[in-house]
Amino acid sequence: MIKVNTVRNKEDIIEFQKYHFRKNQLKQVIAMAIIMLFTLIIISMDLESTLHTIIFVALGELVFVGVMCLSLKISRSKLNKSNKSFEEEVSIIYEFDDQKIAIKVESQTIKDSSEIKWDFIYKVFEDEKKFYLYINKMNAYIISKSDIEDDKEVELSNLIKEKVAK
């Protein structure tokens, strides 16, 4: 069994949202921007000047990408304000074994514990600082590597790889 004690705060949540955007939603924004680019090119074919076409397409793309990014930022901000538990630090204890992940959460307003079988993990991403154990496309358990005992980090990484099919 591998035990990890961690504390989650508002900055961790914001960092996760940015990571999640880069990892998942950025592809959607790029795809929509490409579609918008082709649409603008087709619409602008009626313009007489090549310079006018280039300016029209460039401004259209800038406005589109700007509106998309602003929209995502506003929706993330509303989500954060609506969830009061984001404002307080939360103590989380993860216990990993061959069968499950046990999770104990405690703060001033929350006290909860649960167990998740490995099959329930949707996907996993690992970077140099954290493990992200997704339970669906939007929510993940975040385990900071700095909270893992040095000799257990590789063991946990191997256990996750073994238990979660990518």
Tokens of 110: 């929350």
pLDDT for the residue 140:
84
DSSP readout, 88-138? Answer: S-EEEEEEE-SSEEEEEEE-SS-EEEEEEEGGG--EEEE-SSEEEEESSSS
Q: Where are the domains of the chain?
A: 2-9+86-163, 11-84
pLDDT for the residue 96:
94
**d(Cα 39, Cα 113) in Å, to the nearest integer?**
51
What are 28-51's pLDDT values in tens digits? 777 777 777 777 777 666 666 777
pLDDT for the residue 93:
92
Residue 3 near residue 116, CB atoms below 8 Å = no
What are 123-147's pLDDT values in tens digits? 898 888 889 898 888 788 889 999 9
CATH number for 2-9+86-163: choose from 1.10.1740.10, 3.30.43.10, 2.30.29.30, 3.40.50.10800: 2.30.29.30
Q: Whole-model pTM?
A: 0.66
C-alpha torsion angle, residues 13, 148, 102, 164 (rounded to 10): 80
What residues pair up with 125 in beta bridges, in sequence order? 132
pLDDT band at 63; cut points 50, 70, 90: confident
What are 71-113's pLDDT values in tens digits? 767 766 666 666 655 667 888 999 999 999 999 998 888 889 9
For the chain, the average pLDDT equals: 80
Tokens of 47: 């313009």
DSSP readout, 8-72? Answer: E-HHHHHHHHHHHIIIIIHHHHHHHHHHHHHHHHHHHTT-S-HHHHHHHHHHHHHHHHHHHHHHH
Q: What is the DSSP letter of 140?
A: E
